[in-house]
Amino acid sequence: MASISSPRRGASRDSSLFLATRQQPMDRQTIEAITRTSDPYLWIDEVVQIDDDQIHARKYLSPEMPIFGAHFANFPLFPGALQCEAAFQASAVLLARTLPSRESEIPVIARVRDVQFRQMVRPGDTIDVVVTREEQFGPAVSLRGRVSVGDQVSTRLAFVATQAAGPEENAAG
């Protein structure tokens, strides 16, 4: 879930996908449909656990990923900005469970604050992404995210997510 992620043309929400968020585990195809994001920009492989207030998602960072050839070729690292994006995408799946939405709306990030990068993430690592709902005010939701490798926290952040008119509404309006 991110303001920089846009839906694929022709993609529309299928309400049965959002019912699927109540089932565990969630497959990659369902995650793609909810987040409206696909490879190479999908940073969640699986949903490990989800309830109305928290999601635990996971991503294996293959050493073969192109990002590792470009982000410090001699010392490859998984960028902190993409760790935040993994949390944003996980939040889109979490909020799909509980926020009322119209099919034409897309998940967006309204604010990011208190970001802390604490540990480097390297090729071959598996990141665990935990996002917790804190407070809802109108259509916006305050959340906290944590990205870890094993028991080491690599990134912490607080952010606000909401939904915005998608391409169908913008074209009609």
- What's the half-sphere exposure (Cβ side, CA atoms, 13 Å) at 80? 11
The residue among 104, 113, 103, 163 whose CA lies nearest residue 138 is: 163
Q: Any catalytic annotation for residue 56?
A: no
Given 28, 71, 122, 156, the catalytic residue: 71
Phi, psi of 4 (to 5 degrees): -90, -5
End-to-end CA distance of the chain: 24
Half-sphere exposure of 76 (CA within 13 A, CB side): 15
Mind giving me the DSSP string for 101-115? Answer: --TTEEEEEEEEEEE
Q: Please identify every residue annotated as catalytic.
A: 71
